[in-house]
Structures are given as C-alpha cells and as structure tokens.
Chain A
Amino acid sequence: MNYFIFIVKAAIEDFKKNKTQTFLTSLGILIGVFSVVILTALGLGLKKYIDDQFAQLGKNSLFIAPGKLISGGSFNAASTFQSIKFDNRDLTKIRKIKGVIEIAPIFSKQVVAKSFKKTEDTTIIFSSEAFFSINGFNIKNGRFFNKSDIDKKSKVVVIGPKIAEKLFGQADLALDQKITASNVNFKIIGVLESKGGGGFGGPDYDNYIFSPYTSGYIFNPQKNFSRIALKFDDINFSVGEIKELIKKEMLKRYDEDSFSIIEPGDILQAVNSIFSVLNMVLVAIASISLLVGGIGIMNIMFVTVTEKTKEIGIRRAIGARKNDILYQFIIESTILSVLGGAMGLGLAFLTTLILQKFFPAYIDVNSVLLALGVSSAIGIFFGVFPAKKASDLSPIEAIRYE
C-alpha cells in the first residue's frame, strides 16, 4: 500500500510542477470522454423520449394505415405515396370483429383558427370519442366530445393547451369560447391536459384541435379516413389473433401491400433501430478523439521518461526493480488519462444539466463506468511503451545521465 502511495504522490508532485503540460496532455482524453458521454446521453435521452411517447399508447392498441409503412423492422417511406383511403364501410366491418372494443377513424386538416382576439395556423384532427382513450388523453377543463356529439354532427371541439393559450392568452379562458376554422364555427367544450412532446417528428398534440369526425365531413365530402386506430380486448385475445382477424377482413377489399396493421411497438422498434445506428456512428467518430488523446499521452510520457532518466537511475541504484519503474510510469500515464476522463465526465454532467432544458438528455451509470474504464485503459495501453523504455534503461547509463 505504502508503495502505491509513494508512486502516486511522486506523480502528483510532478503534475503540480507542470500544471499546464498536465492539463494539455489530459485535454485530448477530456474532449474524447466528453464527446462520447454527451453523444451517449443524447442517444439515451432520445430513446427514452420515444419510449415514453409510445408507452402512452398502451399495449392493447393497433393502427391501420395505408401502404406498407413498416416492413422488416424499418420504415418504408416510399409506400406512403401510393396510399389508399379508408371509409365508413371499413369502419363498420372492423367494429364487428370480435375482440375490437373501441375504434377511432382519423383524418386531419390544416386550418387557420380564429378566436375573438387572435388567428393561428393549426391542425384539426377529426376522430371519434375513442381517440382520447386510445391515445391516453386527459381533460383539464370541460369534457371530451361523446357519441351523441358524433351522431348529431355537433360543431364542437376539444382543444390542446398550447393552441388554447395562443388563441386566448390563457388556456383556462378557452372553455365555452367560439373559434372559427376555415369559416366554420365551433364551440370549445374541453381543454386538454398537456401531453408534452412534439419537436422530434412526433405529433405535437398540445398544439392540435380535436373534433367529431362526422362534423369534419364538411371538409371531407368523400368521407375518407387516413388512419384507423383501435383498442382490443387483450385479456381474451392476443395481438397476433386480432391482427389476423383484421387482416382477413381487410383482404376482402384491399390487396396485401396497400395497408398495414401496426402495433405501437413496431414503430418504436423501427425508430429505435434508426437512432441506435445513428448514435453508434456518432459515438464511433467521437472515439477517434479518445485514440488521438491516448497517442498524445504516449508522446508526453516518452518525453517524461527522457526527462527523468537520472531519477530512474537513482531509483534503480537504491534497489528499484525493472517492474517498479514500469509500474511507476504506467501509474503516471493512467493518472493523466483518468484525470482527463474525470474532467470530461464532469464537463459532460454540466452540459447535460444545461441540455436537459431543451432536450431529453441523460447520463446513465453505464456511460460513467465506460468513460472511466476506457480512459484508464487508454492510460495503461499508451503508457506501456514509454514505461517499458524507462524500465529497460541500464541503471549505470541512467545514473550517469545529466
């Protein structure tokens, strides 16, 4: 134990004497560890964000979408162009399938919404009352629209909190107000609780307006739906069985390539596979700076060995073995590297704290361990060659060195 305290103490004394050199040598590792940890934090944050978004959908929901949106675990962007549209006939048939509990046809329209004080561009999603439960919405003020609103084609809307605030100054003031969307008047019967989200390609529901699909037919005379969402009985049916039943029904009317039945998990998997590949590439690029940092340490350690030739000679004269000298220099390069790693990690923590205000980044235990593990491994690996040179010096030549 004493042995290591002595060696570590001597190394730290050296670093204190050459603070600038020590810092610059560690800088390479600092930058490397910082970029690897930050990129991992961003990747993890993004994955967590996506997971959370899909977790709200629940395990017992499915979507029917036109085209082959997902094939073999990844997105198939081309398919969305040659799309079909669903209609009331599909709705009726799917509703009759055993195990389907709730069903929500969906279409949307970009509109200019006007309140008595302001005008905003937004999107109205036209659907059924089931849409809210399938997507896990909660109401803050007022109520959701219901089945009788749909039957009566009521001109009512439920409004997201952000757009409500934009239109009325304060979300709480929106209830029972009138808005005009593309010259049609609607009454606001409910304001939603914030759901967060938006900004990563996902829908920013807080900025949307929701209305009964029957009321939306004014804008959609063909009565087409772009998607159908549904909830099924997951106690008596498995996802596979339900998908099979729906597929059988749909195949009576459409060919196999023109529609998809999607589980939220499918999308999640596809999105995650894209992001994890992207993140791996970024982390690999960042790792190059770790390598460069390691070479920087090796370079400085070679210089240090020359500078300390006399000291090596003295230590050998009083009984240090080759291995004692070897360990001394490996410990020194490891301290340099871990110092850089720790500073990089600290900086990454601070940066993550700031980033979290804008972006869901977070550092997990694994990236901390990885950063420290990799930096000490670099210190040892790149320290071995200079240390070997030091320990192989002949005692007599070392002690004569001036």
Chain B
Amino acid sequence: MIKFKNVNKIYKIDKEVVFQALKNINFEIKKGEFVSIIGPSGSGKSTLMHLIGLLDTPTKGEILIEGKNIKNLNDNELSSLRNEFVGFVFQQFNLIAKLTVLENILLPTIYSRKKLDFDPRKKALELIKKFGLSGKENSYPNKISGGQQQRVAIMRALIMQPKLILADEPTGNLDSKTGIEIMNLLKKLNKEEKITIIVVTHEADIASYGKRLIKIKDGEIVDN
C-alpha cells in the first residue's frame, strides 16, 4: 500500500549547510498492518511521518501510494489523497477551537471533491455515539477533556473512511490511563475494521501495541 524506495530528505539550513534528515529509506507497508515507528527525538521520524502523510515530498527517491508515484501528483491531487486516503491523529489533537465537536468531525467532508456514499452528519453522530461522546456534539474542544479531544481527532480521521490512520505521538499529551485507552481504540480499529495504522512514537510501551516495529536512528532505519 505504501512503498518507500531510496527516500532521502535533505533540508537546506542556509547556503552551505545542509541537514540530511532521512538517508536511503526503504520499506513497504501492507494493507491491514499496525506499524510502530520508533526513534529518539531528532531521529527523523517526524520527517518520515510527514512524508507518509503526504504533507511533504522527498528530496530524492520515490514514494508509492497504492502504486502511484506521488512525484507525479499536483497540489490538488495530494490534497485529495490527504483527504480520502489518510486520517491524521496528532499529539496536540489539532482540533479547530471555534468549531464544535460535530463540526470538527465533519470538517474533512466539506473539503471532499468526490461524491460521498454516506450521509456525513449521520455518520458523525454514529461515531460520536460509538466513541462515547454523546451529548458533547455541540461542545467546543476547550470544554472537553484531553482524552475526549483525542477521540474527536480520531473520529475526524475516520469520517472519510480512510485506508490509513497516521498517528504522531497520539498519547504524548495524555495521562497514561487515557493513553492506554486511545491505543486500545487504535488497536480495535485495526483489528475490527482492517484499517492500516501507523503510530510514530519515542516510547517503547506505546510502540509495543504495533504488530511490526520500524526503528529509526539518525535518519536511517536500524531495525525493521
């Protein structure tokens, strides 16, 4: 489903100084996998995540998403892929403060250009019920707990029925009990709904939820 071939990412800091964040990255992730990408801070795992999430493009090498080389896609096509193919879950939750829980969950659907085969509002309300946030539909993010916010973020990631959920330190801002709940939720989604999950983290016990571990250090994969 996702294939990295000799991917390099080089940042120019100024005219002469460059920083190579990723060196010759090769891996493949298949449909239905639960992969943890683990590495210390500064290892390049965030850069890797941004590349998988189509927020950035490689300096060298190829990224294939379902066989399509993203190099050949324009900004609109990349936006559509982010909209339909990936669902993001961030450490900071990244909900939009002025929109309600329901509106935050619906936000990806308003940016969709394809005809949806479901009723967005109905689906969002179903998700809210399923995730135990009934009654909070019209609350604003600052009125609910961190764990609830992260659930809303997961619902927002799920509304477009993506093939992949990409979670960047999803438990980083949560207490350990809530963190475990969120990780179990992701595990359940992978098991019951066959959604591919990639979790990027620096914590070994969070990474242990994955069925497969990719270790990254100094921009290179050290263990796969």
Contact of A321 among B76, B99, B160 (CB under 8 A): B76
Inside 8 A of B160's CB, which chain A residues have their CB? 319
Q: Does B53 contact A (CB under 8 A)?
A: yes
Q: A395-B55, A396-B50 are in contact. Are A321 and B94 (CB under 8 A)?
A: no
Q: Please state if A318 and B98 are interface contacts (CB–CB under 8 Å).
A: no
The binding surface of chain A is classed by DSSP as helix
| Alpha-carbon gap, A360 to B145, bound state (A) | 62
Expressed in whole angstroms, the minimum distance between the Cβ of A3 and any Cβ of chain B is 5
Contact of A318 among B56, B75, B76, B111 (CB under 8 A): B111
Q: Does B222 contact A (CB under 8 A)?
A: no
Q: Please state if B79 and A321 are interface contacts (CB–CB under 8 Å).
A: yes
Q: A395-B55, A396-B50, A399-B55 are in contact. Are A319 and B98 (CB under 8 A)?
A: no
Q: Please state if A319 and B56 are interface contacts (CB–CB under 8 Å).
A: no
Inside 8 A of A14's CB, which chain B residues have their CB? 98
Contact of A314 among B56, B96, B103, B112 (CB under 8 A): B96
Q: Please state if B53 and A317 are interface contacts (CB–CB under 8 Å).
A: yes
Q: Please state if B156 and A396 are interface contacts (CB–CB under 8 Å).
A: no
Q: Does B148 contact A (CB under 8 A)?
A: no
Q: Please state if B50 and A10 are interface contacts (CB–CB under 8 Å).
A: no
Q: Please state if B110 and A2 are interface contacts (CB–CB under 8 Å).
A: yes
The size bracket of the interface on A is 20 to 34
The binding surface of chain B is classed by DSSP as helix
Name the residue of chain B whose CB is nearest to the CB of A14: B98
Q: Does A244 contact B (CB under 8 A)?
A: no
Q: Does A112 contact B (CB under 8 A)?
A: no
Q: Please state if A318 and B99 are interface contacts (CB–CB under 8 Å).
A: no
Inside 8 A of B156's CB, which chain A residues have their CB? 318
Q: Please state if B79 and A396 are interface contacts (CB–CB under 8 Å).
A: no
Q: Please state if A311 and B79 are interface contacts (CB–CB under 8 Å).
A: no
Name the residue of chain B whose CB is nearest to the CB of A321: B79
Q: Please state if A319 and B94 are interface contacts (CB–CB under 8 Å).
A: no
Inside 8 A of A47's CB, which chain B residues have their CB? none
> For chain A residues 298-317, which have a beta carbon within 8 Å of chain B?
310-311, 314-317
Name the residue of chain B whose CB is nearest to the CB of A2: B110
Q: A17-B98, A314-B94 are in contact. Are A319 and B55 (CB under 8 A)?
A: no
Inside 8 A of B107's CB, which chain A residues have their CB? 6, 315, 318
Contact of B82 among A6, A311, A319, A394 (CB under 8 A): A319
Inside 8 A of B50's CB, which chain A residues have their CB? 396
Q: Please state if B99 and A319 are interface contacts (CB–CB under 8 Å).
A: no
Q: List 5 A-B contacts (CB under 8 A).
A: A6-B103, A6-B106, A6-B110, A396-B56, A399-B55
- Supplied contacts A13-B98, A320-B111, 17 more A-B pairs, CB within 8 Å: A3-B110, A9-B99, A9-B103, A10-B96, A10-B99, A13-B99, A310-B94, A315-B96, A317-B55, A317-B82, A317-B94, A318-B83, A318-B108, A319-B79, A322-B75, A394-B56, A396-B55
Q: Which residues of B contact A (CB under 8 A)?
A: 50, 53, 55-56, 75-76, 79-80, 82-84, 88, 94, 96, 98-99, 103, 106-108, 110-112, 156, 160
List the 4 closest A-B pairs by CB distance, nearest first.
Answer: A319-B83, A13-B98, A321-B79, A319-B111
